[in-house]
């Protein structure tokens, strides 16, 4: 069992806690540890809902929260109303998270008597240069118990397995806007295209994937082990048909595989050079 005392010690003494929750491994582990430390009646999972959240991810988040025994409060966010978010620069995540934490402060904290809000940043993410959302969290004084306890991605996933969470082996699932190249506008129509295409590919049996939006072209990222079957019939034709049905004209499979931070990291590195 991985030691979680560093997290529970940081939660001790809190009255009521809100956890910014997505159903991913990090926020689910934080939610589960908070429920264990404080009790289910003193913890609420806060799920931001907008066009950048796929319907499947929303439903999965509710299932994980139910498994943990935590109540879920949905907050409708309007990051799409922010010009800086739509412009889709490398700081897009800042504007998204700032919108989320602003809505939580305005609509949830007082209504649910929360003493603090926390989110699931881990120690690895805290060291990455392409995480502007952490700046928004700091500006809103949102706690980050996992990172402060020194828990990295591997440790957090290990804790999820120790706790028997249904998302323990769930691949990372960044928001749909992360599939759109920077400096290309984020629109509800593009997000809907991406969501439709990815949902169809999931139904074809692919568990980890990204559909990157390049105008008429859908660039599909899959793990290396999935590439051979993706480019051979019958899946090759099924993938193309699914992508065209989602509104793209062309489907390509990226031989590099799944790439975390594919659009943001190169720009951040250039800026820091």
- Which residues does the annotation mark as catalytic? 175
Cα 21 to Cα 45, 64, 100, 182: the distances in Å are: 6, 10, 11, 25
Structure tokens at 132: 């502007």
* Helix locations, 165-255, DSSP H: 188-203, 227-230, 235-245
Strand order in the sheet with 116-118: 71-76, 43-49, 17-20, 116-118
CB neighbour list of residue 216: distance below 8 Å, 6 or more residues apart: 248, 249, 250
Place of tokens 């692919």: 206
Of the candidates 201, 212, 172, 199, the residue with the CA atom closest to the CA atom of residue 88: 212
C-alpha–C-alpha distance, residues 65 and 89, integer Å: 32
Q: List, in sequence order, every residue forming a beta bridge with 46; answer none if it has no partner.
A: 20, 73
- Cα–Cα distance measured from residue 12 to residue 272, given in angstroms and rounded to the nearest whole number: 38
* Vertex 222 angle, CA 228 and 207, to 5°: 105
Q: Which residue has the tokens 């790439």?
A: 259
CB 226 within 8 A of CB 260: no
> How is residue 11 written in tokens?
């939660």
Question: To which H or E segment does residue 64 belong?
Answer: helix 55-68
């Amino acid at each position: 069992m991985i030691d979680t005392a560093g997290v529970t010690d940081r939660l001790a003494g809190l009255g009521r806690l809100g956890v910014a929750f997505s159903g991913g491994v990090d926020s689910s582990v934080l939610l589960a540890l908070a429920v264990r430390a404080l009790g289910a009646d003193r913890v609420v999972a806060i799920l931001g809902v907008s066009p950048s959240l796929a319907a499947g991810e929303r439903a999965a988040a509710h299932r994980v929260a139910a498994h943990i025994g935590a109540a879920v409060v949905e907050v409708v966010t309007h990051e799409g109303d922010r010009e800086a978010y739509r412009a889709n620069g490398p700081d897009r995540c800042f504007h998204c998270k700032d919108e989320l934490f602003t809505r939580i402060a305005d609509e949830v904290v007082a209504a649910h008597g929360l003493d603090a809000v926390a989110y699931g940043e881990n120690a690895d993410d805290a060291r990455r240069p392409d995480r502007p959302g952490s700046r928004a969290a700091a500006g809103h004084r949102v706690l980050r118990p996992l990172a402060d306890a020194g828990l990295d991605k591997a440790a957090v996933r290990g804790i999820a397995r120790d706790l028997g969470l249904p998302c323990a082996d769930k691949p990372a699932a960044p928001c749909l806007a992360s599939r759109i190249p920077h400096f290309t506008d984020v629109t509800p129509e593009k997000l809907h295209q991406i969501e439709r295409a990815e949902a169809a590919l999931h139904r074809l049996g692919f568990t980890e994937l990204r559909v990157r939006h390049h105008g008429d072209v859908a660039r599909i990222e899959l793990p290396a082990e999935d590439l051979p079957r993706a480019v051979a019939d019958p899946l090759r034709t099924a993938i193309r048909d699914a992508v065209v049905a989602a509104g793209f004209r062309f489907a390509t499979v990226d031989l590099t595989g799944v790439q975390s931070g594919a659009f943001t990291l190169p720009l951040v590195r250039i800026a820091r050079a």
